[in-house]
Amino acid sequence: MKILMVSNLYYPNIRGGAEEVVRTLAEKMVVEGNDVYILTLTDGADPHREKINGVNVIRVPLRNVYWPSVDQESQALKPLWHLLDISNTAMLPTIKKILSDLSPDVIHTHAIAGFSPIVWKVAKDLDIPTIHTLHDHYLLCSRTAMYRGGRACESRCFDCSLFSIPKVWQSRDLDTVVGVSKYILEIHQRFSGFPRAKQSVINNPIDSPLNASSRDIGTGRVRIGFIGSLYPQKGIHVVLDLCKKMKEYDFVIAGTGPEEIESQVKLGTAENENLIYLGRSEKERFYSMIDILLVPSLWKESASRVVIEAYSYGVPVIGSNLGGVAEFIQDAETGYIVDPSREDDIVEKINLIVSSRDVYKTFSYKALEYYAAYSVKDAAKEYLDEYKILLEDR
């Protein structure tokens, strides 16, 4: 089967979990005997092609007023960028030529900011079946996070509505939509997304670490970990506050973010002997250093890949009750679901997990057991089955 995946970023240009998922699925589908292409963006001026681990990668220039997160003088142009991204006609000739030349059996879109939903219209005009995976709130929120003023949004604000309503309307061109969690699919349904599309949930897959086994806290100091982007909505300040108050535990932070927040974390290591900052870190190193993963998200994440990632190393998780994070935590089995605004709740749950070695071992074993449902092989098969259904229905 010839498959074209569309993702605004692709390896080695990775900023988050969505790009990791696309790469993992693409490479697995190649192993399964499929001909897989990736259409992605480059910040350069010229298009180019390459092959990475059997995947055909087509990189094309972004046609908009700036390259997101790189141009530091783009704040005043943000409204124009998002206006153009409602349906980016400047990208139309490029998208149309590539889709026409490749003539894939199926198109699978992921993160499409930059390409815009116009890619769905091109696919429909060419009569190519199209499936879209919801990784975030891009269609509903210009910030993609539904988080503003230090709080998770309960509804769309006025400016987001202006940009999002036309995007959601264009979802009528889709044949199938997949949510990476029940939460992210349901919130789009609330705003009338995908009126004609078949809808389902397929959880993000995680590569299995070598020699995974259940863990033991031993007799040393317990270490609490945080990994991810260092942004306020991720709850990084929750971790820093806990570090100051829970001196009996060590805290390990891995990830990068705005210079101001990175500086705060580095200052924290100077002021607190129980804080370790790794910066950008290989996941094997990070998970080998911690006993519990903390995911205190203050925004409604679509899903949390790091929860399942932690399970794959036998690490229990204490995670936020907001958004999709809670879907992946079996409360009192693989960890605990907490209110991230209640420090006492988090402290209580940390103490429960490490109350004894036997209790901790049970949590660790359950985490590994739960992880088994998130294999790359199973996720790839679920998507390939969806592709086959689309082709049979033509």
Residues 199 and 295 occupy one common structural domain: no
Same domain, 385 and 370: no
Q: Which amino acid is at 352?
A: L
Distance from C-alpha of 40 to C-alpha of 62, rounded to nearest angstrom? 9
Q: What is the largest CA-CA distance in the chain?
A: 64
Q: Are 133 and 102 in a shared domain?
A: yes
143 and 112 in one domain? Answer: yes
Q: What is the DSSP string of 143-181?
A: TSS-EETTEE-SS--HHHHHHHHHHHHHGGG-SEEEESS
DSSP 331: B
Beta-carbon-side half-sphere exposure of residue 26 (alpha carbons within 13 Å): 28
Q: What domain range is 253 assigned to?
A: 223-374
Q: Give residue 74's pLDDT band: very low, low, confident or very high (50, 70, 90).
A: low
Amino acid at 226: F
| Same domain as 132, residue 236 | no
pLDDT tens, residue by residue, 118-173? 999 999 999 999 999 999 999 998 878 888 888 888 878 877 888 888 999 999 99
The yes-or-no verdict on residue 1 having pLDDT over 50 is: yes
Residue 39 in domain: yes
Query: Quick one: pLDDT band at residue 71, thresholds 50, 70, 90?
Result: very low
Instruction: Note the pLDDT of residue 309.
Output: 94
Distance CA 37, CA 132 (A): 15
Closest CA to 220 of 306, 268, 291: 291
Residue 215 included in any domain: no
pTM of the model: 0.93
Q: Determine phi and psi for 223, rounding to 5 degrees.
A: -120, 130
Q: Which residues contact 340 (CB under 8 A, 6 or more apart)?
A: 235, 238, 296, 297, 298, 320, 321, 322, 346
Q: How many domains does the chain have?
A: 2
- Residues 279 and 385 grouped into a single domain: no
Q: What is the CATH number for 333?
A: 3.40.50.2000
